[in-house]
Amino acid sequence: MMMANKMVMMNLLIPALMVVLYQYMFKSMEDAGKMIFFMVLPMIPAFLGYLLPTVVAEEAEKNNQRSLRLAGVKSWEYVLASLLLPFVVAVIYLVILPVYLRINLSELGWQYIPVMLLTSLIVFLIFMALALMTDTQTRASIVAMPVMMVSSFLPMFAMMDKTVEKIIDFTYLGAYSVYSKEMSHYQIMDKSFLFLIIWLMVALLGVIWLTRQR
């Protein structure tokens, strides 16, 4: 159903299209690859996660969720199945993007994978929670739009404003914001990574509670 939906397909492709667009815009800039890389990275979970409210709300409208429940599908199975496609596509982007932009993998460090995977998972869980709270596609899209915009562009604003930089440290984007500056020197014991774990626990518990309510 996801693959048949044109809006969903566009969401899957937008990060790749943004890379091409930025390459055209900054083609004359030296070392533009790294800048494009960190501009597009937060867009990956944001745009991929944005498809969840659309798809889940569509299933709610068509009573598919009730049918699945009657067929014996458990709540956690439904949530995992919904998260599977965006998570797999996110992993593909995270592997291909630095190679395509010719980013030195040793410069990224091993911290790149845990920081980005946990950040992506939290964003997906937040979108999943919003999807479970709405029952129409229109309402789901409207409610999820601010989360998509914040997840995509807040790290960029944090680079330009010190106040935003302090605020973002306490959000699920804090670890990414710090990592984007320190890269391979990023410490996994940094407080920003601790906040990331806390956000993951809260988002997971929120989705579990909402699935039980629905």
Tokens (6 digits) for 202 = 């809260």
Average pLDDT of the chain, as a whole number: 84
Give tens-digit pLDDT for 82-111. 888 889 999 999 999 998 888 888 888 888
Tokens 């969401």 — which residue? 11
pTM for this model (two decimals): 0.88
Gap between the Cα atoms of 211 and 9, Å rounded: 26
**What is the band of 2 on the pLDDT scale with cuts at 50, 70, 90?**
low
Rg (CA), the chain: 18
Give tens-digit pLDDT for 32-63. 778 888 888 989 999 888 888 888 877 777 77
Give tens-digit pLDDT for 155-175. 777 777 777 777 888 888 888
Q: Kindly report the number of other CB atoms within 10 A of residue 110's CB atom.
A: 12
Percent of the chain with pLDDT over 90: 15
